[in-house]
Structure 1
Amino acid sequence: MTDQKDSPETIVSAEVLADAEQTAARPTVLDQMGGPMGFVYSTVPVVVFVAANAFLSLPITVGISIAVGIALTVFRLIRGERFASAIGGLLGIAAAVGIVMVTGSAKDFFVIGIWAALAGFVVTFASVLARRPLTGVIWNAVHGGEFAWRADKVVLRVHDIATLAAAIVFGARFLVKEWLYLADSTTWLAVAKIAMGTPLTVLAALLVVWAFRRTTRRLVTQPVQ
């Protein structure tokens, strides 16, 4: 009788099953960005600020925003999140309301995000023009900087696509928010921040993950011919 234990079909099936289990256990892009709660953390301070500003004076609005930021930070620490991640959100809120207190304009709550989007667009788009797409530079740095990834046309192309996707996200955020900022529309700035925040980031991140995995398969795990 033929022993089926170590047959090629059995080995292949075992490998496929192992790959499937590994894929199922791997955290999704949304999970890596904090999951649904990450979206909540980025949305609540914005909603609270705009809602409070519609009915209360600016100093009271600022005070409420800081209080909400502190409450969210404490909640995240209780849930066991890393201190750096939890405190980062509070620092972002503090910086935003600090600018508001200096300028006396509620719309300046969003100015850091507007200029950060412009900076992100300039860096990512310039890296593509320089034929050193940023996602490829980051991938190579993570892998010790030892791969000639730009010499592989396929790898260079996928990183062009991923980096351009990031540039488009940054550019769209800047154009829309700057237009709303100049129109003095604080409420719509909040809407744009929420709508163009986590959802667009997830879409761009999916392309970045695709580029990273494609590059790893071609340069790291590709079998020797």
Structure 2
Amino acid sequence: MKAAVIVFPGSNCDRDMKVALEQAGADVTMVWHKDANLPDNVDLVAVPGGFSFGDYLRCGAIAAQSPVCQAVVDHAKRGGYALGVCNGFQVLTETGLLPGALMRNGALKFVSKTVGLQVVTSNSDFTNGYNAGDILQIPVAHHDGNYFANDALLEVLQGDDRIAFTYETPINGSRADIAGVLSENRRVLGMMPHPERAIDPLHPSTDGQAMFRALVDGLVNA
């Protein structure tokens, strides 16, 4: 399975994402944000966490205008897979690949800790390594992770089983405690917590391993 990890000025989880995907068996290429094309035959594009362009203007807004993001959008529209974590989630909402918006945390404070993350659906290639209802221990590190969806969108997300994860305990004001959402075709996932920081025995948790293993195995056998 071939994966590409996008790198923006200010990315700080790109290497972590590469290691997580490689550990699960993926062939990973790092792609600079000014590149207009993705590697040939790429299966998954990962947009990592960090502070792209210093989070100026609005988190993810400048990064979404980078040349590579049009290639990411085209990839997803062709049915390709994409994963956005933390700042990557913000970028994917700014490109329109995922609905909703990420706003300033409700308490107006940066949150950095390991939290309980509930798996809402196992019906996706990203989450089928878990059971619905599982509680994972996954780190968060964000200042603008407050997910907003209006009533109509929330009804759609709930009705279509597109809420991937929720926080076990409210941490940032997110609507319905949403921590991750899926695209309509279920091939794009955005999430604020960092599964790539929960893959190694030296980490506080290894609960992120199952996501990357299931994703890589699923795409290899697709």
Give the alignment's TM-score, normalised by structure 2. Answer: 0.31
Give the alignment's TM-score, normalised by structure 1. Answer: 0.31
